[in-house]
Chains A and B, each alone.
Chain A
Amino acid sequence: LAKTTQPISMDSYEGQEVNITCSHNNIATNDYITWYQQFPSQGPRFIIQGYKTKVTNEVASLFIPADRKSSTLSLPRVSLSDTAVYYCLVGVSAAGNKLTFGGGTRVLVKP
């Protein structure tokens, strides 16, 4: 299994950019990297997914270096409502037994 490691927590302030890095040294060739957001008492919610280089959508960007051994989720101009736990997931559904979530990063956005 691709072991995934994330920082446990990080604090930020409204309007700042938050970058969360996930390490996945033994990622497999076919693995994708997916990030989820989770609020208390809710299930995780999809944010963004990528395979290599950079992916951007309306809420986040995902940066993946050429060696793919890490990935960085970037949240631009965070607001208080972005306070949540963020998880990276390495793998693909087609190889379910290799799906590996990171331990999660608790992001606290302060006013």
Chain B
Amino acid sequence: DAEITQSPRHKITETGRQVTLACHQTWNHNNMFWYRQDLGHGLRLIHYSYGVHDTNKGEVSDGYSVSRSNTEDLPLTLESAASSQTSVYFCASSEADVDEQFFGPGTRLTVL
């Protein structure tokens, strides 16, 4: 069955370190998204991509970057982790012309 996976599921890192969160989907979807989820803020869009080599900034993109070298993967990189980036991160994908997003299981990131 097609699916979307995230790794790692849990990560603890230190302030200033570079961290990369992986997202992999097997639906062959063109659209991929990264969100962060924090208490009191719901889900907020970090970055999104409409296809290979396409990336766009979302509402809360500062301190994050993404790259799309193939259809299946959209890794999220925190260049220099900060405590304010402690959160749960969700990756999602959708077909180009259908707006139902399929979410991964999430990555809980703690920055000490």
Residues of A participating in the B interface, judged by any CB pair closer than 8 Å: 1, 32, 34, 36, 41-46, 49, 87, 92-93, 96-97, 99-104
| CB-CB contacts below 8 Å: B84-107 with A | 90, 92, 94, 96, 99-106
List B contacts of A100 (CB < 8 A).
Answer: 59
B44 CB-CB contact with A under 8 Å = yes
A43 near B99: Cβ-Cβ < 8 Å:
no
List A contacts of B101 (CB < 8 A).
Answer: 34, 36, 44, 46, 93
Closest to A42 in B: B105
Closest to B100 in A: A46
B42 near A43: Cβ-Cβ < 8 Å:
no
B56 near A96: Cβ-Cβ < 8 Å:
yes
- The residue in A1, A45, A101 that gathers the most chain B C-beta atoms within 10 A of its C-beta is A101
Number of A-B contacts (CB under 8 A): 64
- The residue in A36, A46, A93 that gathers the most chain B C-beta atoms within 10 A of its C-beta is A93
Closest to B92 in A: A43
Closest to B49 in A: A96
A96 near B58: Cβ-Cβ < 8 Å:
yes
CA distance A92 to B94 in the complex (A): 11
**Of B40, B100, B103, which is within 8 A of A103 by CB?**
B40
B112 CB-CB contact with A under 8 Å = no
Q: A44-B43, A96-B45, A96-B56 given. 17 additional CB < 8 A pairs?
A: A1-B59, A42-B106, A44-B103, A46-B102, A93-B31, A93-B33, A93-B96, A93-B101, A96-B31, A97-B45, A97-B48, A97-B57, A97-B58, A97-B59, A99-B48, A100-B59, A101-B43
